[in-house]
Amino acid sequence: MYNLAMQLDTIENILQVVFLIMSVVIHEVSHGYAALMLGDKTAFYAKRLTLNPIRHIDLFGSIILPLLLIISKVGFIVGWAKPVPYNPYNLSNQRWGGALVALAGPASNFLLAIIFAIFLRLNTAGLLNLPEIAIGLFSMIVLINLVLGFFNFLPIPPLDGSKIFTPLLPERYASFFENFGNYGFFASLLFILLLWKPFSYFIMLVFGLLVS
């Protein structure tokens, strides 16, 4: 019985990483398509407008960090893929183009969460008859994408939130904010280490509102 439980935990952990990789790939591809719609073909020329995960996986952000979070049993996993390149000077909207490209990433995660939450709601309402395993998998997808969406919405460089909110700041503060990007990686890790618990409570609140 113990071995069976261990095997089920292992399968669940593998699925979490697989769904995370799929979600971060869609996240990055959404950045690329947003840039393309605004006139920049950098991601297209770099062959990054593809759902092939091999072109997007970041060893630390897509695999090592999620596995560390799973091992530490924090309850959620988060990660990232290699950023899709784009040239902000090619964007048709110089003022808001960068913010729109940044917004496309978390927006794709929120959209995925909403789509799968709708399936769960329809099942709860008796309009669908999902098997138990599908309910678990769909719930996992909703949760992972909520974490990715809200985490990337944080105004910490180089997360998307910093690029979304920077155009709203006065120029002198915007420059300071952009320069802070050199320390953004460490700030992100500090957030995970120090503020993950209240962040997880917020995620679970939104999750409950979506699926029930």
Residues designated catalytic: 28
d(CA 187, CA 165): 17
Buried b (16+ CB within 10 A) or exposed e, 170-203: eeeeeeebeeebeebeebbeebbeeebeebeeeb
For residue 43 the two structure tokens come to: 């991601």
Sequence-distant (6+) residues with CB within 8 A of 109 are: 23, 26, 27, 145, 146, 148, 149, 152
Within 13 A of 31's CA, how many CA atoms are on the CB side?
28
For residue 79 the two structure tokens come to: 């990660």
- Residue pair 157/177 in contact by the 8 Å Cβ criterion: yes
**N- to C-terminal Cα distance for the chain?**
32
C-alpha dist (Å) from residue 137 to 14, 28, 147, 156, 189: 12, 22, 15, 30, 27
